[in-house]
Amino acid sequence: MATSDNDSPPVYREIADTLREAIRSGRLSDGARVPGENDLMKQYGVARATARQALSVLINEGIVVAIRGSGIYVRAFRPLRRHGPRRLSRALWGSGRAVWQADAPDGDFETDSIEVGEVPAPGYVAKALGLAEDTPVVRRHRRHRLGGRPMQLATSYLPAKLAAGTAIAEADTGPGGIYARLAELGRAPAHFTEEIRVRMPTPDEARELRLSPGTPVMDVLRTALTAEHEAVEFNEMTLDGSAYVLQYDFDA
């Protein structure tokens, strides 16, 4: 029977540590079934509550996923590599390609829902775009999927005085997307700034992205600026934290 000294972690944490190490070492690979409560009770000689606590630790860490009626499995991590500079290059959108094609060139990346409308600019959006609060902006909210799996929520805001009445305010913006249309308006993006934050999702985000318990999200907040440093778009993206690797290249 497993025991812990007064100076040792509780038994359920020792079991969780052992399982975690098995996952990290590859003995339990991506998608493998993790020993369940009955297995742990038998192997370690512990009560069901202790076995359940051990598994809950790993579920809350996002390392394993519980599938009702089936069992608990190692979370499969096959990340989508998001290369920041490459996906925003003018060579990409200037040739009529969408920015996400840099992430998934095989074309499996798709937009499965889109909402477009004119709204008063929230305070943080107005600040990013250099506008007065409540100034009208065109809002574009999308959900993107890869191979049928929700991966990202993205909401773009553009000054209505610039975008209203153009293809930017339509569901289909045409080849090259928003940035190609901005170029046609004489407001081509020349500079981008991105901020990245990691947090736990809201209930609505967890539902939209179909996230398992313990899965964080990454916020990527991007502002697009012209060569004259006029802010023309603020894009608020929420990414499934288990699905992405963010890559940035820099010269020394």
**Residue 65 shares a structural domain with residue 96:** no
**Residue 58 shares a structural domain with residue 110:** no
Considering the domain boundaries, does residue 62 fall inside one? yes
| Reported pTM | 0.73
Considering the domain boundaries, does residue 27 fall inside one? yes
Considering the domain boundaries, does residue 118 fall inside one? yes
Task: Assign residue 91 the CATH number of its domain.
Answer: 3.40.1410.10
Q: For residues 7 and 45, is the Cβ–Cβ distance under 8 A? A: no
Considering the domain boundaries, does residue 5 fall inside one? no
**Residue 186 shares a structural domain with residue 89:** yes
Residues 6+ positions from 236 with CB-CB distance below 8 Å: 154, 155, 156, 157, 219, 221
**Residue 28 shares a structural domain with residue 139:** no
What is the C-alpha separation between 7 and 69, in angstroms, rounded?
Answer: 38
**Residue 105 shares a structural domain with residue 50:** no
Last residue of a domain, one of 42, 74, 106: 74
User: Do β-strands 191-199 and 109-120 pair in parallel, antiparallel, or remain unpaired?
Assistant: unpaired
Q: For residues 25 and 69, is the Cβ–Cβ distance under 8 A? A: no
**Residue 163 shares a structural domain with residue 60:** no
**Residue 69 shares a structural domain with residue 169:** no
H/E run at residue 33: strand 33-34
Domain span at residue 37? 11-74
Considering the domain boundaries, does residue 84 fall inside one? yes
What is the C-alpha separation between 167 and 165, in angstroms, rounded?
Answer: 7
How many domains is the chain built from? 2
**Residue 112 shares a structural domain with residue 180:** yes
Last residue of a domain, one of 55, 74, 93: 74
Considering the domain boundaries, does residue 174 fall inside one? yes
**Residue 131 shares a structural domain with residue 195:** yes
Q: List the chain pLDDT tens, one digit each, 252 residues.
A: 555 555 567 999 999 999 999 988 889 888 889 999 999 999 999 999 999 999 999 888 778 888 888 899 887 666 677 766 766 677 666 666 666 666 665 656 788 889 999 999 999 999 999 999 999 999 999 998 887 788 899 999 999 999 999 999 999 999 989 999 999 999 999 999 999 999 999 999 999 998 877 789 999 999 999 999 999 999 999 999 888 888 877 777
Last residue of a domain, one of 21, 41, 74: 74
What pLDDT score was predicted for residue 244? 83
**Residue 88 shares a structural domain with residue 55:** no
Q: What is the DSSP string of 83-125?
A: EHHHHT-HHHHTTT--GGGGT-TTS-EEEEEEEEEEEEPPHHH
Task: Assign residue 65 the CATH number of its domain.
Answer: 1.10.10.10
106's tokens = 């095989």
